[in-house]
């Protein structure tokens, strides 16, 4: 029998220990010793071998739940309608939709001319494009102004680096034009042959250049029309809803800027809309004789302004909707007769209709204590219908058309959940947990009615709390595999998100970041006190910046949770934020702070999960990552697990699973993505002592 390759180890029963190679990191006169810094090299065969050993160990430690994982996976897959389609949306002369065929992992992108009763045209079959690739993602697709040419962007690695191809939808011909190593962001000019697209820095992956491509020319001849030199800003291209203007958007955490060009004249130069200012964020759209601008200028929670087409400077704007302290203005949608405003009040989305001609405004009422509503595919201006989606923790995503004049709500489609699912079997609640400083933190939760555990339920608490990203109470058919086995699922709306307005975000970032962590702890304690969870059956989960949350909370309160799941966790905060060559670093100084400044360095160091691992007893922990992750590099969780293995004093489970073929979003494919979900659920259910039968 030949010896196995050192890069493909046999199943391990003992945890692999990463070798220690001290590496000194000096800053502000302080020296940190990083024993696992060497893992920061995916080209090193020893690194790959170590990750594979960790995978083998995780497999060995999960052998007793393999059948359980398969059962859960089949449950989740069995709830999904395999032959399915999205709600068609109208754009120009066609209706567009996405559909799935039974047994296939990827979507078919289709359209019909005039109406849904017309013959189908399959524009792109994702299954054909995915052949031969372990990972596949169709990241974006755009139809030309003449509606006869499709531009589509594909990623076959998971690092969010795309190649753009072109197809003639009339003849079926695939153009020879290929634009490689780009972001996937793109937009057509109105001449039916010019495509603008964004390119990223090859090292940091920051989107910073906008190019102009003309069909038929070699991509190396494409013209650079804009380059963003400030490393804290990212660039992208879009088009106004009116389709009259191309816009280059430039964004950082606290500032934004737009440049515009008439889409009928794509060879002209872009001009600045409103010059950037520190702490000024704005967004732009266009209708008729005006630009409409959502801005935080003199408006903490944002307000709506408008400007004449030739008067775009901030001093020339006119107020349409003022700032309100109790309402966060999230966005808007323009129609010929109506302005639709998306607002957040007390953490919940509200949609408000305002006639341009004046008259009575009105609001959609959703009538549940915790839910999520969102504007949908509204590409046409000349329509009285608003497309929106609604979901709650007990209601699958439901798509409606709402007639803004008659106020008739037209049901279009609800996500179909196969099996014996009934919304009435579940209950959702909204709670308020007091934080350590007295602030009340909202919690949305759901559980199955009539579940009868011996004592309080096991409970999974999910959190994120960064970038102003609001975590809304939405439905998950996969989650039913937890709820039907007695779990309560809770969502902590902690500071750092934007559920309660801009102040909610600002009080959970920079030098107030620890509020995010203490809020999460307070939510966990409250749920136990109120009898929603058994004190020995509390579990927590978060991903990316939510993985940072898991690591920080684990160091602060290792006794509170019996188990945790950290997905693609951002845990080596100081080292990453000191390395400007790593993707996302420079653009996030206004989120975490710039560690070149001593006060930010010291504060980050005080909560960074990797730097604060000590000889202590930690919860059971499952960590996931992807070798090609462009958002949080794989070595952060790998180093964290290595350090935990060396220092922790308990015999609790510590598993690291690295997807060697994927990036930040995990596995691709409609069903394959649920393999990780099944693994996570089996891990949690097994820890909670839930029978596998």
Which sequence spans correspond to the domains of the chain?
A: 23-77+420-687
Measured CA distances, 586 to 38, 158, 589, 629 (Å): 23, 22, 6, 17
Task: Check the CA dihedral 553-554-559-561 and report its sign.
Answer: positive
pLDDT score of 227: 97
E-strand stretches of 86-193: 89-91, 94-100, 108-113, 120-125, 137-143, 149-155, 162-168, 174-182, 186-188
Strand duo 223-227 + 234-239: pairing: unpaired
For residues 578 and 585, give the distance between their C-alpha atoms in angstroms, rounded to a whole number: 8
Residue 374 sits at φ, ψ, to 5 deg, of -150, 145
Query: pLDDT of 14-68, one tens digit each?
Result: 889 999 999 999 999 999 999 999 999 989 999 999 999 999 999 999 999 999 9
For residues 38 and 117, give the distance between their C-alpha atoms in angstroms, rounded to a whole number: 60
Cα atoms in the Cβ-side hemisphere of radius 13 Å centred on 45: 5
pLDDT score of 579: 86
pLDDT score of 670: 65
Nearest in space to 390 (alpha carbons), one of 407, 411, 406, 363: 411
For residues 353 and 364, give the distance between their C-alpha atoms in angstroms, rounded to a whole number: 8
Name the CATH architecture for the domain at 23-77+420-687.
3-Layer(aba) Sandwich (3.40)
pLDDT score of 1: 30
pLDDT score of 328: 95
Q: Which residues are catalytic?
A: 544, 629, 664
pLDDT score of 10: 55
pLDDT score of 417: 95
For residues 446 and 423, give the distance between their C-alpha atoms in angstroms, rounded to a whole number: 11
The kind and range of the H/E element at 213 are strand 207-214
Q: Find residue 186's DSSP bridge partners.
A: 197
Residue 518 sits at φ, ψ, to 5 deg, of -70, -30
Q: What is the pTM of this model?
A: 0.88
Nearest in space to 582 (alpha carbons), one of 42, 219, 67, 115: 42
**Which residues are within 8 A (CB) of 157 and not within 5 positions of it... i.e. 6 or more apart?**
135, 628, 663
CB distance 534 to 518 below 8 Å: no
CB distance 371 to 398 below 8 Å: no
For residues 602 and 541, give the distance between their C-alpha atoms in angstroms, rounded to a whole number: 27
The segments of the chain whose pLDDT lies below 70 read: 1-11, 451-455, 583-586, 662-670
pLDDT score of 3: 37
Query: pLDDT of 156-189, one tens digit each?
Result: 887 788 999 999 999 999 999 999 999 999 999 9
For residues 438 and 192, give the distance between their C-alpha atoms in angstroms, rounded to a whole number: 58
Tell me the three state secondary structure of residue 11: coil
Nearest in space to 296 (alpha carbons), one of 311, 286, 310, 283: 283
What is the DSSP secondary structure assignment for residue 497, as one 8-state letter?
B
The kind and range of the H/E element at 538 are strand 538-543
Strand duo 84-85 + 94-100: pairing: antiparallel
């Amino acid at each position: 029998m030949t010896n196995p390759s050192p890069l493909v180890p046999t199943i391990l029963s003992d945890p692999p220990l990463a070798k220690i190679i001290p590496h000194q990191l000096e800053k502000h006169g302080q020296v940190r010793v990083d024993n696992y810094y060497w893992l920061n090299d995916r080209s090193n065969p020893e690194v790959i071998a170590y990750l594979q050993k960790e995978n083998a160990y995780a497999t060995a430690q999960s052998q007793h739940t393999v059948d359980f994982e398969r059962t859960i996976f089949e449950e989740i897959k069995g709830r999904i309608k395999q032959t399915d389609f999205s709600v068609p949306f109208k754009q120009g002369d066609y209706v567009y939709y996405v559909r799935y065929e039974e047994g296939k992992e990827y979507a078919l992108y289709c359209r019909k001319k005039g109406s849904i009763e017309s013959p189908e045209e399959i524009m792109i079959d994702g299954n054909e494009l995915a052949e031969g690739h372990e990972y596949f993602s169709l990241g974006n697709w755009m139809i030309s102004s003449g509606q006869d040419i499709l531009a589509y962007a594909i990623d076959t690695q998971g690092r969010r680096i795309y190649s753009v191809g072109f197809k003639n939808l009339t003849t079926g011909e695939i153009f020879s034009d290929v634009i490689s190593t780009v972001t996937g962001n793109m937009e057509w000019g109105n001449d039916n042959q010019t495509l603008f697209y964004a390119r990223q820095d090859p090292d940091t992956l920051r989107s910073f250049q906008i190019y102009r491509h003309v069909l038929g020319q070699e991509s190396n001849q494409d013209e650079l029309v804009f380059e963003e030199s400030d490393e804290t800003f990212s660039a992208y291209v879009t088009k106004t809803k009116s389709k009259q203007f191309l816009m280059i958007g430039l964004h950082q955490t606290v500032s934004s800027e737009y440049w515009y060009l008439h889409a009928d004249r794509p060879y002209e130069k872009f001009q600045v809309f409103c010059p950037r200012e520190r702490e000024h964020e704005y967004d732009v759209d266009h209708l008729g004789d005006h630009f409409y601008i959502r801005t935080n200028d003199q408006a903490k929670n944002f307000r709506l302004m408008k400007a004449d087409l030739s008067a775009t400077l901030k001093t020339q704007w006119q107020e349409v909707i003022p700032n309100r302290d109790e309402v966060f203005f999230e966005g808007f949608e323009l129609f010929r007769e109506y302005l639709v405003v998306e607002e957040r009040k007390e953490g919940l989305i509200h949609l408000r209709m305002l006639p341009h001609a004046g008259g009575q405004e009105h609001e959609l009422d959703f009538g549940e204590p915790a839910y999520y509503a969102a504007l949908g595919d509204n590409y046409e201006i000349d329509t009285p219908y608003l497309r929106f989606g609604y979901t709650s923790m007990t209601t699958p995503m439901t798509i409606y058309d709402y007639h803004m004049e008659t106020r008739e709500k037209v049901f279009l489609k609800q996500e179909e959940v196969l099996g014996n699912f009934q919304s009435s079997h579940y209950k959702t609640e909204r709670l308020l947990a007091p934080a350590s400083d007295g602030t009340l933190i909202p919690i949305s939760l759901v559980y199955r009615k009539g579940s009868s555990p011996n004592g309080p339920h096991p409970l999974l608490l999910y959190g994120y709390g960064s970038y102003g990203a609001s975590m809304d109470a939405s439905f998950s058919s996969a989650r039913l595999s937890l709820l039907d086995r007695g779990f309560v699922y809770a969502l902590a709306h902690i500071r750092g998100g934007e559920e309660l307005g801009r102040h909610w975000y600002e009080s959970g970032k920079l030098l107030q970041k620890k509020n995010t962590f203490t809020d999460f702890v307070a939510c966990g304690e409250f749920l136990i006190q109120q009898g929603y969870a058994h004190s020995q059956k509390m579990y927590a989960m978060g991903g990316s910046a939510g993985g940072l949350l898991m690591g920080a909370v684990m160091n602060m309160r290792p006794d509170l949770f019996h188990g945790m799941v950290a997905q693609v966790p951002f845990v080596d905060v100081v080292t990453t934020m000191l390395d400007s060559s790593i993707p996302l670093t420079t653009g996030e100084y206004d989120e975490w702070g710039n560690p070149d400044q001593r006060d930010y360095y010291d504060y980050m160091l005080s909560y960074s999960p990797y730097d604060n691992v000590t000889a202590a007893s930690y919860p059971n922990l499952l960590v996931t990552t992807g070798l090609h992750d462009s958002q949080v590099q794989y070595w952060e969780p790998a180093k964290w697990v290595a350090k935990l293995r060396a220092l922790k004093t308990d015999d609790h489970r510590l598993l690291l699973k690295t997807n060697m073929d994927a990036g930040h979003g995990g596995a691709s494919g409609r069903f394959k993505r649920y393999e990780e979900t099944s693994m996570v659920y089996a891990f949690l259910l097994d820890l909670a002592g839930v029978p596998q039968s």
